[in-house]
Every structure is written in structure tokens, then in C-alpha cells.
Amino acid sequence: MLTLRSTPDNPVPPGGTLQSVQTEDGITLRAAHWRPTTRRVKGTICLLQGRAEFIEKYYETIGELRGRGFAVVAFDWRGQGESQRQVRDAHCGHVARFDDYRRDLKAIEEAILRPTMPLPHIGLAHSMGGAVAFTGALEGWLPFSRIVALAPMLSIRMVRWPAAAAILARALHALGFGRRYIPFGSAVSIATKPFAGNRLSGDPVRYARNAAAARDVGAGAVGDPSIAWLAAAFRAMARLADPRVPAAIRVPVLIVGAGADPVCGTAASERFAQRLRAGHIVILPDARHEILSERDAIRQDFWAAFDAFVPGTDPATIRHAETKGAVPVAV
């Protein structure tokens, strides 16, 4: 039975609807959605998690978005949170290919976004979710009129020799080890490791809150990824590194980079942003990888950038777009 877990410092946002969603290839996803807490409805924000994340980590952000007038859709990608696994070890973050994430988002679009959620639909993507969003924008299946990408996974800094690691991952996958942990990987969630020296946040209070949530969801806060996931991630990043890719993306994009990110390369985000036709980047100098779990001052700078990029759309514009079968872009 699906649940939304609550801890003393991280209560479930009230008024939400929790449901299971089936993908076209038979995977069950955990999803939830909320209406705004304001009278005026500005549209819908769909949260695209990073690897190893889960809905519970976003409760604070969900509340802030609702207070800004947005409905919110949140879901767990396959292989993490309370969504279905495709390997026996529920702690192993596994997908066979990144195209599976397209199936997940398509299922969410068809079951929740398109039939029930107010326009415009906007993606708020973190890390791996950013790589998925950019791929979808490139290929034309992304169901959003705008993208806000936080510390997107365009390169991985945690790997010392990425080119060699990519070759090794492909070789091990080809030899049939794709469902196993990466070399030296384990079931321990990065969110439960000690605060000192962590890669995710400089805020001890929010870090402790997320760690408690991760312990509460258990296997939902997966450990290290599978070899197949790593091989697929390197393929996705290599494709997005092509300098022709950003120029081919027509969806307006705001990238918010973490200046002190030890997980994903902010320099790669800057190069990507420079080639976007309809986008730009804001760097938050002291932020680590999880900007939404950072200190108040950093989060305030993020929300200032968000509010400037995602203003409300006039309801008449939304109704006109609905009659024309289009998704309006807030300007």
C-alpha cells in the first residue's frame, strides 16, 4: 500500500492526493498532487527528482510552491522512493536505460498532468531530473512550457576519471553485470551519511531533516546505483555535451547552478547555458548540490530567480491556449 511518510520535522503537506500510476511497460509509480493554497492559480509545477530521491524530501518546497499559487505534482521515478523496482535488491538504484524515465513522465502526464492539473505546466528538475528534462526537450516529448533545472546532471564530479569509468561501465554491462551495484557500491543512502564533509547541503538542520526522512522511507532512499544506471547516465551526458544540443532546445530554460557542487559539474552547466537559444544560468556561489536543502540565504536567492523566470499567467491566456490545444508559456 502506498503511503506518504511523515516525521516530526517534516510533516506531509495537507490536502494532497496520493495515487499509483501505471507506465506503458507495467511499472507502478508512486505519485501525489496538491492544489495551491492561494485563490489565484498560476499553473502547475511538476517535480523531477534527482537520483535516489523521494517525494518526502520535497515537502518544504511543495508548501512554498503552493503558497506561490501553483498546483504541484510529485512522483518517484522507477527504481527509487516507493515506485516499483526492476531488481531484487530494493536499495540498488537501477534502470536499464534512461529512456525508461520517458515512460515514467509520459505516464504522469497522461494520468495526472493533462486531465486534472491547471496550465501552464512547468518542470522543476534536480540533478538527474535535469538531464531527463533536457533530453525530453531535445526529443520533443517534454510536457512542459518551461524548465527550471537545479544543478543538472551534465557531468559527474564524483568520478575521478569519467572517460575510463564510462568505458568500464559499458564493459561490465555488456558482460551481464548491469543489475549489480557499481564497483565498491553499497545499499547505504547518501542522505543518511554524516553531515560533516557531506556533498549535498551546508544547512545542518535541513540535512538532519532529510536524513530522518531517508531513514523513515528505508529502501525508498536507495543506495548506490547499478552498473546499468551508470552506463546509461554516461550515455545521456555524452549526448547532452554535444554543442549542437542546447541550440536545438526551444523550451525556455533557467539553470540554477551550485557554485560549490561536488556532485555535478557546474562548468558543464555554464557551457550548456551559453548555447541555449531561450535560456540562461544563475550561479549560487556557496551552494552545494541540493540547492533546495540549503541555507535560507541560498534558498532565498533561488526563489528570487524562480519568481523572476516563472511569473503567473493570466487565466484568460490559459483558457485561450486550451481552446487552441496549446500549452501557454508565461512571459
Dump pLDDT digits (tens) for 25-73: 999 999 999 999 999 999 999 999 999 999 999 999 999 999 999 999 9
Phi first, then psi, for residue 158 (nearest 5°) are -70, -20
Residue 220 lies in a domain: yes
Dihedral of CA atoms 81, 223, 137, 250 in degrees, nearest 10, equals: 110
DSSP 8-state assignment for residue 177: I
Q: Which domain holds residue 34?
A: 17-324
In a domain, 330, yes or no: no
pLDDT in tens, 307-331: 999 976 444 433 433 333 333 322 2
Cα 123-254-165 angle, rounded to 5 deg: 85
Each residue's pLDDT tens digit, 249-295: 999 999 999 999 999 999 999 999 999 999 999 999 999 999 999 99
- Is residue 7 assigned to a domain? no
Question: Is 70 exceeded by the pLDDT of residue 240?
Answer: yes
CATH of the domain at 152: 3.40.50.1820
If we measure between CA atoms, which residue out of 112, 118, 115, 148 comes closest to residue 133?
148
Give percent above pLDDT 90 in the chain.
91
Q: Mean pLDDT, the chain, as a whole number?
A: 93
Q: What is the mean pLDDT of residues 149-153?
A: 98
Number of folded domains in the chain? 1
Q: For strand 146-150 and strand 17-22, is the pairing parallel, antiparallel, or unpaired?
A: unpaired
Give the chain's radius of gyration (CA, Å): 19
Residue 248 counted as domain residue: yes
Residue 159: the pLDDT is 80
Secondary structure of residue 150 in the 3-state scheme: strand
pLDDT in tens, 192-235: 999 999 999 999 999 999 999 999 999 999 999 999 999 999 99
Under 8 Å between Cβ of 145 and 121: yes
| 264, part of any domain | yes
Residue 161, pLDDT score: 83
Cell numbers found for residue 60:
518544504
Residue 171 covered by a domain: yes
Q: Are 232 and 153 in contact (CB under 8 A)?
A: no
Q: What is the largest CA-CA distance in the chain?
A: 57
In a domain, 255, yes or no: yes
Residue 89 has pLDDT above 90, yes or no: yes
Look at residue 233 and tell me if it is in a domain: yes
Residue 312 pLDDT:
63
Q: How far apart are CA 118 and CA 114, in angstroms?
A: 8
> What ranges in the chain are assigned the alpha helix state H?
59-67, 99-108, 114-116, 128-139, 162-172, 204-217, 227-240, 244-248, 266-274, 296-309, 315-324
pTM for the complete prediction?
0.92
Q: Does residue 134 surpass a pLDDT of 70?
A: yes
